[in-house]
Amino acid sequence: TGTPTPEGLLELYAQVRLLDDGVRFGRSADAFKRCYFHATDYMEYDWQPLPGSKEQIYGKIADLALTLLSSDYLDIPDTQVEDIQVAMPDEAWKRYKELSKELLISMGPNGDIIAPNAAALSNKLLQMSGGAVYNSEKDQAVIVFHDAKVVALQSYLKVNPEPSLVVCNYRHEMDRLRS
């Protein structure tokens, strides 16, 4: 959001301390806490801001941070999430099952796709479902299996030409979508 409150005002101390070496709030996190907050339980696990603390804290960091409410400045339409089911082509599905069973696919001159363990296998299968896989050689070349997701996205964007945010898991997916 850009607002410097990761989990609330209490955790703001460390961020500001890194920026100003303790000038604004002192060199002790405990002193900061006791100056601007009060414990709400006897074990001092829960701390809440004292009245006026929020304004005082924001006043002290005004030269370091700018807080804007999106409702005041941005006119953004509501987010619409579109999950599009894309069937993997038969040949790619055959190779997918082969990799999941054998943990290895030889791709001839393009190199091999090797999954030495379960985590690597899961990663390679996820890549393959996207249409391409990094080979297991040092060059990390991309081996393309299908363009089903690219074609589905093109079809979607023809029907819905407004700006869209497309999520990619791998750089090769982004490169293929851009091209």
Predicted pLDDT of residue 89: 95
User: Looking at the predicted structure, is the pLDDT value of residue 72 above 50?
Assistant: yes
Spacing of C-alpha 113 from chain mean position: 26
User: Looking at the predicted structure, is the pLDDT value of residue 4 above 60?
Assistant: no
Structure tokens at 13: 């101390």
Predicted pLDDT of residue 1: 44
Predicted pLDDT of residue 161: 87
The pLDDT tens digits for 107-155 are 777 778 888 899 999 999 999 999 999 887 777 788 899 999 999 999 9
Q: Are 37 and 49 contacting, i.e. CB atoms less than 8 angstroms apart?
A: yes
Q: Pairing state of beta strands 104-106 and 47-49?
A: unpaired
Q: Quote the CA–CA distance of 147 and 165 in Å, as a whole number.
A: 19
Predicted pLDDT of residue 2: 54
Spacing of C-alpha 162 from chain mean position: 23
User: Looking at the predicted structure, is the pLDDT value of residue 74 above 80?
Assistant: no
The pLDDT tens digits for 11-63 are 889 889 988 999 999 999 999 999 999 999 999 999 999 999 999 998 999 88
Q: Please state whether the predicted TM-score (pTM) of the whole model is above 0.85.
A: no
